[in-house]
């Protein structure tokens, strides 16, 4: 039986590097990188090529509710097909830091149920580590204050908890400050 895992967390929590690490250990793992696919979808709807860095820097001015809803349907179809032969890992974070504050573009209750998740994973790091990681490689992300980094993590975890309550699926929170190999070993055990 294959699992569909929703992995989330605030920026710099380690989602992309964790997904890449899991992919090296489970080569047939299907990773749905929501941010990259959203960038590609937004590019399709415009006459100019967008980068993830640009989308991260100006998220609310580029990404519309319609983009998100369209990609959510693509994700649901992807999961329904891929889960027949592979574990699926969804790398996503519906809470974005914007110039005006924060924005949440979450799945509807109907959508999250249609994905038929097996588990929800929330990755997190303390605010000092988050700021250090973003400052080292911001990739278009604004560098948050300590309060903003903690608040972002809390909002993201709240969204994940809401998904868990709505679907009856367990939510696991993982501290990414542990050694990478240890984190990957723990997550691999969840896939078994």
* Per-residue confidence (pLDDT) for residue 181, from 0 to 100: 96
* Per-residue confidence (pLDDT) for residue 38, from 0 to 100: 86
Alpha-carbon torsion, ordered 36, 42, 46, 50, to 10 deg:
-30
Q: Tens digits of per-residue pLDDT, 119-177?
A: 999 999 999 999 999 999 877 777 899 999 999 999 999 999 999 999 999 999 999 99
* Per-residue confidence (pLDDT) for residue 89, from 0 to 100: 98
* Per-residue confidence (pLDDT) for residue 54, from 0 to 100: 76
Tally of domains in the chain:
1
Say which residue, 32 or 40, is predicted with more confidence: 32
| Residue with the two structure tokens 């993830």 | 52
What is the domain range of residue 111? 4-191
Q: Decide if pLDDT at 192 tops 90.
A: no
- CATH code (residue 41): 3.40.50.300
The three-point CA angle 34-142-69 to 5° equals 30
Which residues are within 8 A (CB) of 2 and not within 5 positions of it... i.e. 6 or more apart? 83, 84, 85, 86, 87, 88
Q: Decide if pLDDT at 27 tops 80.
A: yes
As a whole number, mean pLDDT of residues 31-48 equals 85
- What confidence tier does 98 reach under pLDDT thresholds 50, 70, 90? confident
Q: Decide if pLDDT at 56 tops 90.
A: no
Q: What is the arrangement of strands in the sheet containing 171-175, beginning at the earlier edge strand?
A: 30-33, 88-91, 4-8, 119-124, 171-175
Say which residue, 142 or 29, is predicted with more confidence: 29
Nearest Cα to Cα of residue 159 among 110, 105, 117: 105
* Per-residue confidence (pLDDT) for residue 179, from 0 to 100: 95
């Amino acid at each position: 039986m294959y699992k569909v895992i929703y992995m989330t967390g605030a920026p710099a929590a380690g989602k992309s590097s964790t997904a890449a690490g899991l992919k090296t250990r489970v080569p047939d793992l299907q990773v749905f990188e929501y941010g990259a696919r959203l960038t590609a979808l937004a590019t399709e709807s415009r006459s100019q090529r967008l980068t993830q860095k640009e989308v991260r820097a100006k998220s609310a001015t580029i990404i519309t509710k319609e983009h998100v809803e369209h990609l959510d349907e693509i994700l649901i179809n992807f999961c329904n097909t891929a889960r027949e032969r592979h574990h699926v890992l969804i790398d996503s974070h519906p809470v974005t830091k914007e110039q005006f504050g924060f924005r949440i573009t979450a799945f509807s209750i109907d959508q999250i149920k249609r994905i038929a998740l097996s588990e929800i994973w929330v990755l997190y790091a303390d605010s000092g580590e988050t700021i250090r990681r973003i400052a080292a490689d911001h990739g278009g992300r604004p560098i948050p204050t300590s309060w903003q980094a903690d608040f972002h993590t809390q909002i993201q975890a709240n969204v994940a908890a809401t998904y868990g309550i709505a679907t009856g699926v367990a939510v696991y929170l993982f501290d990414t400050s542990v050694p990478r190999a240890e984190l990957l070993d723990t997550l691999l055990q969840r896939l078994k």
